[in-house]
Structure 1
Amino acid sequence: MKIGILQTGHAPDMLLPDTGDYDAMMARMLDGQGFEFETYAVVDQEFPKGPHAADGWLITGSKHGAYEDHPWIPPLEELIRAIHTANLPMVGICFGHQIIAQALGGKVVKHPDGWRVGATQYDIEGTPLTLNAWHQDQVIEAPDGAEIIGRAEGCDIAAMRIGERIYTVQPHPEYGATFMQGLLDHRAPGVVPDPLSDHARGLLSTHTDNAAMATRIADVFRKGA
């Protein structure tokens, strides 16, 4: 099964030697699940020919806001709607969660409560999962027909299921401690409030349920194929 990765941002340059870019992190998250991957760097205006260029789709995180005026966002939203119409499996993570919601009629904002950073406990379909957060934007209105299946303190729409083939999550199951450390060192200063960064640093050794979430994501692709 071929998964098309729609890459909507790039990891900081200084972290690339250790972790690779966002597409590599996504592929590594699903390593051993039997998928093959092809990346389309939509953030750089590299789009597939259409929704059937892959058997399923995975949309990455990004430093950009879904509501911002970038030339690649409208065609990405159009592609998301085409994938939905084609009834193909699609998974969105962080920005991916947000842009799918927005493209299908939901609402995304820069949340007035600010940043969520570090290991966070989520309730995903009734199961407590600890996953890394790195966001200040949130989905505040889900699209029509979406089932809200995940929540966390301060994040009421942390995961959604739309039908049987669309699955979105706000946290980052592809982020491990090394990448979180790098973000805290290189992207947080001057952006994330210092007390929040310090708190997140104290959680770097916390066990995260990345493998459990990766299994859920793989199941979405397999069942939707």
Structure 2
Amino acid sequence: MSSLVIIKTGDAFPEVVDQHGDFEQLFIQQLREALPAPLTITVWDARDQTPAPAPSSFAGVIITGSHSMVSEAPPWSEALKPWLQQALAEDVPMLGVCYGHQLMAAAFDGISDFHPAGRESGTRQVRLTQAGQQDPLFSQLPTCFPAHLTHAQSVMQLPPNTTVLAHNHHDAYQALRYGPRQWSVQFHPEFTVPIMQAYIARQRAALRDQGEDPEALISAVRDTPEATGLLQRFLAFI
């Protein structure tokens, strides 16, 4: 039986975990209904000191978000880089999300670091590039769509041989493709409205410090069906 592995790279805030589930559970909830019968879901916590399974042993890979920072190079995160390089070389389908997005870019010789404009949080508009409009995973999305975002770091330098699929006013690299079936997104397709609102509430002080209105951001949070739909569409490439 083939398995889709969710690589867990961190934990959500305790109140989010208590009310909605941890990062890996949020993905499972969104994927469960569309999961083909032969495919199962496995969770691998990359922070555990256990031998990494071979990438080719999985039918597909999803890499979660994290409150860690890619540029701070935690040892478990650095250990994932050659694993991701091998998975790309073996054409294992991959989808990195937020931290997973930044880590994939760093693993493939890009640079991820703190964004000079500060944190991006809330439901924001993301726009497809021309390449994104023709991409097999993204082409069914409207040219401009809402997505949930919460990040202080971004992909700051593009890896070689990488295609930019989406961007917005804050971030030039909101979605990337590295190979035929290897993508990453800065936004959170697994988030729901209550989860996004909980994250903004947690970040009130930091957002105020950079001149934003947290209450206005909370009020502006809305459903992101187009972004969320990427998760189920990704299953078609496994």
* Same-fold call, TM cutoff 0.5: yes
Confirm whether residue 90 of structure 1 aligns to residue 83 of structure 2.
Answer: no
Deviates more, 1:213-222 or 1:172-181: 213-222
Q: How has the CA–CA distance of structure 1 residues 216 and 13 changed in structure 2, closer, same or farther, with 3 Å as cutoff?
A: closer
Flag structure 2 segments of 5+ consecutive residues without an equivalent.
134-142
Q: 1:52-91 CA distances to partner (integer Å, 9 max, x unpaired)?
A: 2311100001111111131101111111111111110000
Amino acid at match of 1:146: T
Aligned sequence identity (%) = 24
Deviation at 1:140, TM superposition (A): 1.7
1:1-225 pair list within 5 angstroms = 1-34=2-35, 35-46=39-50, 48-124=52-128, 125-126=132-133, 127-185=143-201, 187-193=202-208, 195-204=212-221, 206-209=222-225, 212-223=226-237, 225=238
Is residue 150–residue 199 contact of structure 2 (8 Å, CA) maintained in 1? no
Q: Distance in 1 between matches of 2:25 and 2:50?
A: 17
Q: How has the CA–CA distance of structure 1 residues 23 and 78 changed in structure 2, closer, same or farther, with 3 Å as cutoff?
A: same
The total of aligned residue pairs comes to: 220
Q: How has the CA–CA distance of structure 1 residues 48 and 221 changed in structure 2, closer, same or farther, with 3 Å as cutoff?
A: farther
Q: Secondary structure at the match of 2:71?
A: coil
Deviation at 1:214, TM superposition (A): 3.9
Deviation at 1:133, TM superposition (A): 0.7
Q: Secondary structure at the match of 2:72?
A: coil
Q: 1:111-136 CA distances to partner (integer Å, 9 max, x unpaired)?
A: 11001110101013242110111011
The CA RMSD measured in Å over matched residues stands at 1.8
Q: How has the CA–CA distance of structure 1 residues 46 and 222 changed in structure 2, closer, same or farther, with 3 Å as cutoff?
A: farther
Q: 1:169-215 CA distances to partner (integer Å, 9 max, x unpaired)?
A: 11111111111222233x314433363422311212x2323xx3343
Flag structure 1 segments of 5+ consecutive residues without an equivalent.
none
Larger fraction in helix: 2
Q: Distance in 2 between matches of 1:118 and 1:198?
A: 11
